[in-house]
Amino acid sequence: MSAPVDDQKHLISAGGIEALSTLVSGLPANFPAPIVLAQHLDPNRPSLLSGILERRSKLPVVPISGEVALAPGHVYVVPSNRHVVIRDGKVAVEGDHGDRPCPSIDLLLSTAARSYGERLIAVVLTGSGSDGAEGAVEVKEHGGCVIIQNPQTAAHPSMPAALPPTAVDYIVELDQIAPMLHDILRGTAIEKQIGSADRSSLEDVLEVLAHHGRVDFRQYKPTTLLRRIGRRSAISDKRSIRVAPSIPGSIRSTKIRSISESRR
């Protein structure tokens, strides 16, 4: 499975070694997005994270050194004692950024959010402190998706719990995050499977919403709407979009068949 460059998703994840290992081990060999992993480690000791992940991952693991172009299906590991930023499709090591924890999860997420907007998925796993909370808010403000490990079952819940509820899209058990990511990415390709009849169905739904709701979605690009519908469909396991029962029967049965077909 692959995604075109302009729709390419990018994944940023932060957490403990065991949590990151569990996440990476659950990703398939054909995972269609680059993954950047960050963790707070002792800067005075050599990091073993890359080696540990290599033994658990079906994907190539790349320790970040200098500036690296992000490629789909690769896991990039942030060094333990350096800040990194994401710009123009590359992840790069940076110098000092004041009193920020090193590496700064906030800095990583905020620069990624500005670069990728709604194409970014941020995953926050078990951890201590609050570094990453501000960055996750910025991811949300730029239209990205934020997933956190369930704080109630996390070994160190203070980090995922530090995020404001409005910044969180999904609270998920650790072993279910990798399958969810796969489903989200699969959903982003739905617009490529839409035929002319299905686009007409979408237009019917938007027409009903414009006349019976307070928001007119007809000004949005169909590809943008379908991408977001696909993401929501993958997560909620909804197989169709239907007009509310209060709308006349001739319109009520309207649905986007491609969503149902893509889930078979």
Positions annotated as catalytic residues are: 13, 40, 131
Burial label, 171 (beta-carbon count in 10 A; 0-12, 13-18, 19+):
middle
- Angle between the 196-212 and 222-236 helix axes, to the nearest 10 degrees? 90
Q: Is 188 exposed, middle or buried (0-12, 13-18, 19+ CB in 10 A)?
A: buried
Quote the CA–CA distance of 12 and 148 in Å, as a whole number: 12
Q: Distance between CA 235 and CA 119 in Å, rounded? A: 16
φ and ψ of 38, to 5 deg = -135, 145
Q: How far is CA 81 from CA 16, 56, 96, in A?
A: 16, 23, 10
Going by their DSSP bridges, the two strands 90-94 and 83-87 should be labelled as: antiparallel
Tell me the C-alpha distance between 204 and 253, whole Å. 11
> Which residue shows structure tokens 């996440």?
23
Contacts with 230 (C-beta within 8 Å, 6 or more apart), sequence order: 186, 187, 188, 189, 190, 191, 259, 262
- Which one, of 191, 192, 170, lies nearest residue 179 by Cα? 170
